[in-house]
């Protein structure tokens, strides 16, 4: 029996606070008691609860954090300055921190980051095993390019190919956001033996058309991957408004639409979040 978890939260433009949020969650004590099995009898004041630790307390073995969670989704605008956020994989401070956390709790954590590799830049994931081992790297293959999502300015197309990772608890495949629109990605991972698929994501409103909402389409496509390949699937997305200041003025995505979810092997929704609240989802 494997328990998976998807985290959902709003990012800020400060790396340290976002990494802390990925590890911590402020919520009322009653909610904390529900997650961590602590009696609700002391206080109703806010209480700090570790997001990853909360998932672990609930029995989660594999915990998914959203795409590029270290900061705002900077790809909504083209700014040379944002390349300064990229860091090499080796000794990356967030990866190291998550390695220590994974080892302490005995959980698997795919970690999304903006990778600098010599003169190239990638939207990448490392999969951290339950003993803190870095099991390997996947670089996002499909790179979108459109209003609000101008990733081709920042990221080279991934050169790793689709990969699976043998973790302590399951053999998993991890795609990144735009990869989820392509059925070949899911199929390639399952043909390599993936038992569960994971998709960290950053997707929301379309700046060029406020009436365009791809949320339900986004969910149905991934539910289809689960059903077509007969494997569970976990998707983690961010929430909130994010404004990027550019030399041409402000660029804004007014609502990342959350709706993180876990689908079963026939595509059925087992757990899902809404479009506004932080969430820790679970499924066995």
Model confidence over 163-174: pLDDT tens digits?
999 999 999 999
Question: How does pLDDT run across 246-257, given as a tens digit for each residue?
Answer: 777 888 898 999
Three state DSSP letters for the chain: CCCEEEEECECCCCHHHHHHHHHCEEEEHHHHHHHHCCCCCCCCCEEEECHHHHHHHCCCCEEECCCCCCCCCHHHCCCHHHHHHCECCCCCHHHHHHHHHHHHHCCEEEEEEEEEECCEEEEEEEEECCCCCEEEEEECCCCCEECCEEHHHCCCCCCCCCCEEECCCCEEEECCHHHHHCHHHHHHHHHCCCCEEEEECCCECCCCCCCCCCHHHHHHHHHHHHHHHCCCEEEECCEEEEEEEECCEEEEEEEEECCCEEECCCCCEEEECCCCCCEEEEEC
Say if CB 108 and CB 55 are below 8 A apart: no
Q: Let me know if 177 is a catalytic residue.
A: yes
Percent of the chain with pLDDT over 70: 90
Q: Work out the pLDDT band at 23, boundaries 50, 70, 90.
A: confident
Among 49, 177, 219, 242, which one carries the catalytic annotation?
177
Q: Let me know if 140 is a catalytic residue.
A: yes
Whether pLDDT at 28 is above 70: no
By C-alpha distance, which of 40, 47, 56 is closest to 25? 47
Q: Let me know if 163 is a catalytic residue.
A: no
Please state the pTM of the whole predicted model: 0.90
Question: How does pLDDT run across 121-172, given as a tens digit for each residue?
Answer: 999 999 999 999 999 999 999 999 999 999 999 999 999 999 999 999 999 9
By C-alpha distance, which of 14, 129, 29, 56 is closest to 280? 56
Among 11, 49, 67, 70, which one carries the catalytic annotation?
67
Say if CB 282 and CB 8 are below 8 A apart: no
pLDDT computed for residue 134 by the predictor:
98
38-65 mean pLDDT:
62
Q: Work out the pLDDT band at 25, boundaries 50, 70, 90.
A: very low
Among 140, 151, 195, 242, which one carries the catalytic annotation?
140
């Amino acid at each position: 029996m494997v328990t998976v978890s998807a985290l959902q939260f709003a990012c800020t433009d400060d790396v340290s606070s976002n990494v802390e949020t990925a590890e911590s969650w402020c919520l009322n004590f009653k909610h904390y008691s529900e997650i961590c099995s602590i009696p609700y009898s002391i206080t109703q004041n806010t209480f700090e609860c570790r997001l990853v630790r909360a998932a672990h307390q609930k029995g989660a073995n594999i915990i998914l954090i959203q795409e590029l969670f270290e900061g705002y989704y900077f790809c909504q605008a083209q700014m040379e300055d944002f390349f300064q956020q990229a860091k090499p994989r080796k000794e990356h401070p967030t990866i190291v921190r998550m390695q220590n956390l994974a080892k302490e709790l005995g959980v698997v954590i795919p970690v999304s980051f903006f990778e600098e590799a010599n003169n190239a830049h990638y939207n990448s994931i490392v999969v951290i095993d339950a003993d803190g081992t870095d099991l390997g790297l996947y670089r996002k293959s499909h790179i979108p390019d459109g209003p609000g999502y101008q990733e081709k300015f920042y990221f080279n197309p991934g050169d790793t190919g689709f990969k699976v990772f043998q973790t302590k608890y399951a053999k998993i495949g991890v795609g990144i956001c735009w990869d989820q629109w392509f059925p070949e990605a899911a199929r390639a991972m399952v043909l390599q033996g993936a038992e569960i698929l994971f998709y960290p994501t950053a997707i929301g409103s379309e700046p060029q058309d406020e009436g365009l909402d791809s949320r339900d389409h986004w969910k149905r496509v991934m539910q289809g991957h689960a059903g077509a390949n007969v494997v569970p699937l976990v998707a983690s997305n961010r929430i909130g408004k994010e404004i990027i200041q550019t030399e041409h003025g402000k660029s804004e995505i007014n609502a990342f639409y959350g709706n993180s979810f876990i689908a079963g092997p026939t595509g059925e929704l087992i757990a899902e979040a809404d479009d506004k609240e932080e969430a820790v989802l679970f499924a066995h």
